[in-house]
Amino acid sequence: MDNRQKVIAGLRDAISFAKGDESRAKAIQYRVPESIDVKKLRERLGMSQPEFALKFGFSLATLRQWEQGRRYPDGPSRVLLTVIKHNHRAVEKSLDDEARHKYASARKVAIA
């Protein structure tokens, strides 16, 4: 089966799923924690609020709101915080790799 046929088959599966046929569904739903102690996580990593916010892409104001209990992380933020909690090095590596890739791409454009 070539790529075009795979795409067509995937689209047919998606349409069937949208119509209620779950027989070919391959979706997995993970339970996202309802709450995360952000301050405890940050302190466990030995980071200040500015370091943690900068390293993982959160605004400092939002981080402070979470830690003070005035706001709570939304779903995608809780997912990222859960990954950070279990494997912060993987997140750091991914972000470092992305930054290197963007820097290399920008450098190629500047040289050309």
Could you report the per-residue pLDDT of 65-111, keeping only the tens digit for each? 999 999 999 999 999 999 999 999 999 999 999 888 776 665 565 55
Q: Are residues 22 and 35 in the same domain?
A: no
Please, where are the H alpha helices in the chain?
3-18, 38-44, 49-56, 60-67, 75-111
| Count of domains observed in the chain | 2
Domain with 16, as residue range(s), is 1-28
Residue where the block lists tokens 């995608």: 76
Q: Are residues 105 and 64 in the same domain?
A: yes
Digit-coded pLDDT (tens) for 20-50:
887 777 767 889 999 999 999 999 999 999 9
How far are the Cα atoms of 37, 53, 73 from residue 69, in angstroms, in the given order? Answer: 10, 16, 10
pTM of the full structure: 0.68
Q: State residue 108's pLDDT score.
A: 60
Whether the predicted pLDDT of 55 surpasses 70:
yes
Q: Are residues 23 and 62 in the same domain?
A: no
Q: Are residues 62 and 90 in the same domain?
A: yes
Q: Are residues 50 and 24 in the same domain?
A: no
Q: Are residues 18 and 37 in the same domain?
A: no
Q: State residue 102's pLDDT score.
A: 74
Q: Are residues 54 and 99 in the same domain?
A: yes
